[in-house]
Amino acid sequence: MDKVYNKLQIDKVYNKLRNLDAYPKINEDFYSRTLSGGVITLFSSIFIFVLFFSELRLYLHTVTNTKLVVDTSRGGKLHINFDVTFPAIPCTLLSLDAMDISGERHLDIRHDIFKKRIDSNDNVIEVRQDGIGAPKIEKPLQRHGGRLEHNETYCGSCYGAEMSDDQCCNSCEEVRDAYQKRGWGMTNLELIDQCKREGFIQKVKDEVGEGCNIQGSLEVNKVAGNFHFVPGKSFHQSNFHLLDLLALQTESYNISHKINKLTFGDSIPGIVNPLDGVQWVEETPNGAYQYFLKVVPTIYTDIRGRTIQSNQFSVTEHYKGAEADHFRNIPGVFFFYDINPIKVTFTEEHAPFLHFLTHICAIVGGIFTVAGIVDSFVYHGQKALRKRKLGKFS
């Protein structure tokens, strides 16, 4: 009795489930297959496969989400990578300076800087890492003339720029540094014996007509500042930025240049920096070309979770001719940068799998529904035409 009762209960449950069937089955004896229905089914199936693979391709490809947030980071450093070519300025004359609003200054930077001497056809003549100047000479001038005095060591003259009685300048570079600290510009290298003996003057003459490609990196404070390429050595006097130009044996400087690369941090996939490949040709000498950059902190996270903390930047340009300010204008290429307080985050990710399934179901159900409506119209249309033909014959 218990078994019979349990079976009846199970049959009741099954009957209730059958009543919920939204897809009632039609006996095969009542099926009527048509040619038009087969054609519509074939085309709808092909269309479903095309849309399926299109949706699958979109799902497998990553989607980049962009978000803007306030940059709350404090301090830190800004890494600048550059590669600039000057076709008309020799490497011996070209120097790099950097300074920021905090008062930090770096003049004639040489660390992590590489220079390539190039000819008029852009062929590389020499690659070197040193900057302006040369190694110390073995036997510099003595302070008291051409002979030694009672165990006196060699001590070259600073030509009036000494800060103390025992200061020595045993190379052309040390003489230039002493003049810089005094705020003086060297008026004639021919009068500086250290420079003559090191061959600095001859080196400048040998490189006349050459150009220079300078590349490397800088690490600066993450505050507003600037870095610039100038033909000479900078020094400061009474809060003015001056340049030792008279020592360079020339009166005009062509600052035509090409920026091969300029980035603030690591490169970000898919982002092209606005100054890469930019070239400018100067028509009048001794001008100053200025780039004003807005640096935007950027965080890029790829689909594997690898994060790149870098920067993007926008740029405006301005050329300042020599006649604009004859006494303070310094020929060169200047990059003035400022840090934007807004940070951009890029995140790569796939679309959710449930969204993919939803789209596939919508594609299959939608196409079959539309195909069923079309098939119904075709079937009933053909049936109506057959009835009309039968009516005419009768």
Query: Residue 98 has what pLDDT?
Result: 92
**Angstrom distance (rounded) from CA 198 to CA 169:** 13
Query: Residue 227 has what pLDDT?
Result: 95
**Angstrom distance (rounded) from CA 348 to CA 290:** 36
Domain locations in the chain as residue ranges: 25-61+352-393, 68-129+212-348
To 5 degrees, how large is the angle CA 38–CA 39–CA 40? 90
**Angstrom distance (rounded) from CA 132 to CA 233:** 8
* Contact criterion met (CB below 8 Å) for 46 and 189: no
User: If the chain, 394 residues long, is cut into consecutive pieces of 10 residues, what is the mean pLDDT of each piece?
Assistant: 72 70 58 74 88 87 85 87 93 88 84 88 78 44 45 71 81 78 68 73 75 92 93 54 46 87 90 91 86 94 87 93 62 93 89 85 89 82 78 62
pTM summary value: 0.67
Query: Residue 175 has what pLDDT?
Result: 81
**Angstrom distance (rounded) from CA 154 to CA 136:** 12
Query: Residue 24 has what pLDDT?
Result: 62
Query: Residue 223 has what pLDDT?
Result: 92
Give the Å distances, CA to CA, from 36 to 4, 40, 366, 384: 51, 6, 19, 15
Give the Å distances, CA to CA, from 375 to 36, 47, 370, 371, 380: 7, 16, 9, 6, 9
Query: Residue 28 has what pLDDT?
Result: 58
**Angstrom distance (rounded) from CA 49 to CA 367:** 11
